[in-house]
Amino acid sequence: MWKLKIADRGGPYSQWLYSTNDFAGRQTWEFDPDAGTLEEKAQVDNAREEFYQNRFQVKPCGDVLLRLQMLKENKDKYDLTIPPVKIGDAEEVTSENATMALRRAVRFFSSMQTSDGHWAADIGGPLFFMPPMNEDGGWGFHIEGHSTMFGTTLNYICMRLLGEGPEGGEDNACARARKWIRDHGGVTSIPSWGKTWLSILGLSEWSGCNPMPPEFWLLPSFMPMHPAKMWCYCRMVYMPMSYLYGKRFVGPLTNVILSLRKELHIEPYNEIQWFKYRHVCAKEDLYYPHPLIQNLIWDSLNVFAEPVLTRWPLSKLRDKALKTTMKHIHYEDENSRYFTIGCVEKVLCMLACWVEDPKSDAFKKHLARVPDYLWMAEDGMRVQSFGSQMWDTGFGVQALLASNLHEEITHTLKKGHDFIKQSQVKDNPSGDFKSMYRHISKGAWTFSDQDHGWQVSDCTAEGLMGCLLFSQLPSEMVGEKMEMDRMFDSVNLLLSLQV
């Protein structure tokens, strides 16, 4: 059986792991073939079968495996025998009935708390991380979304790389997906991120991508397109992408890759005029058309800049830009304990480190953090965006405090309070962080845990709110108050983020 492990320092490459707060908030799944009774294994099998039979009618990831485990671990801590309150149409809702229903909900929610005080859950984000297949044979961008070229192509490639044949998979998934791709014009119309990944895999040529020059990281700070002016997620995606683009990295051309070239493209691969498809995007994927100025900038870079920057003597500038880009990648990796900022950026930064040196310590440290992104549920394994431990706990403890049932859940409140205190970021990013386009983080809370390191304004506000509410209650009920200077750090952080 799969088991969720909390604040665990183990896993593959564990000797390369390090933490700022003894791994509080870390959540990783581990498979133990000997774990679980026959009854528990049957519950898991039933949950998986029920999801599969109803997969087009129900949402993915109801976190049944998590709830089964938490109920087992906490069954002796909470009285969950309170019967549900049922009110007939002609009956009046009384204070007693409402309180009983609230008490039942509070105890059930408390029973879902993990051993280190947070509430665990899947947070998939946009579903290209690991979406379910649609009835038409494609994959979409969101749970409710229509099939897209991006989602369908990447998931088809994943199935093939994992060993499925061209006709394989449940209900002939590969054959159905390939038909969807070819019926919609083939993969040359995949959006820009897809074009990048296809080029990396050897299923497309880099000349079919719009330029992502690493020289971008050498621009002077007064430029309107300076990286410091970009949204952090956007900057962190294009940082490793620009490195891989500048290196023109292509993975090994295996038999599977050569076969995929035939399966995914309408035209023979060697006859495709890649430059014609740089601006092409499938209508299913086009949420907003490219402005003319954007295409003009790309065309100018492609026609005038790239041919010059890839030839001597300006190729020396390209070399310098690649080194500068890797400097930023390593800095972000180290300051996030190799989480980076999210799963999209994680795999790109990890690949960039491997391209630079497959045997490097940086790559091994990346491998050690891969389990932090994987999540198991009744519908199988998925990739999380980066975890929502602090976000969920911040709201959870405020809801519990609002119930006014404090004396019944003191154990829960103490653990939740302790987790929030452990999760506050206590330092700014290392070194001259402003030159690395980073802001102060001391006093902040992240979306996930302290090791992640990226400050978030609303998570910081909710963390501070929780600590202020706890400070008004007796310490024997909720634990010791947070130190005043750490609250001041939080206020200072929030004020610094005003615009």
Q: How far apart are CA 90 and CA 290, in angstroms?
A: 58
Q: Helix, strand or coil for residue 462? A: helix
458 included as an active-site residue: yes
Dig out the tokens for 441 from the structure: 């983080």
Contacts of 400 (CB under 8 A, 6+ apart): 106, 109, 110, 409, 412, 413, 416
Q: How far apart are CA 139 and CA 405, in angstroms?
A: 45
In the block, tokens 């330092």 appear at 427
Dig out the tokens for 13 from the structure: 């490459």
Exactly one of 136, 392, 458, 489 is catalytic; name it: 458
What separation in angstroms does the CA of 412 have from each of 27, 345, 400, 477?
A: 19, 35, 9, 10
Q: Helix, strand or coil for residue 18? A: coil
Q: How far apart are CA 439 and CA 179, in angstroms?
A: 47
In the block, tokens 């579903």 appear at 127
Contacts of 145 (CB under 8 A, 6+ apart): 127
Q: How far apart are CA 222 and CA 225, in angstroms?
A: 9
Q: Helix, strand or coil for residue 465? A: helix
Identify whether the C-beta of residue 438 lies closer than 8 Å to the C-beta of residue 454: no
Alpha carbon distance, N-terminus to C-terminus of the chain: 49
Identify whether the C-beta of residue 441 lies closer than 8 Å to the C-beta of residue 460: no
Q: Which of 54, 263, 26, 69 is nearest to 160 (CA)?
A: 263
Active site residues: 458
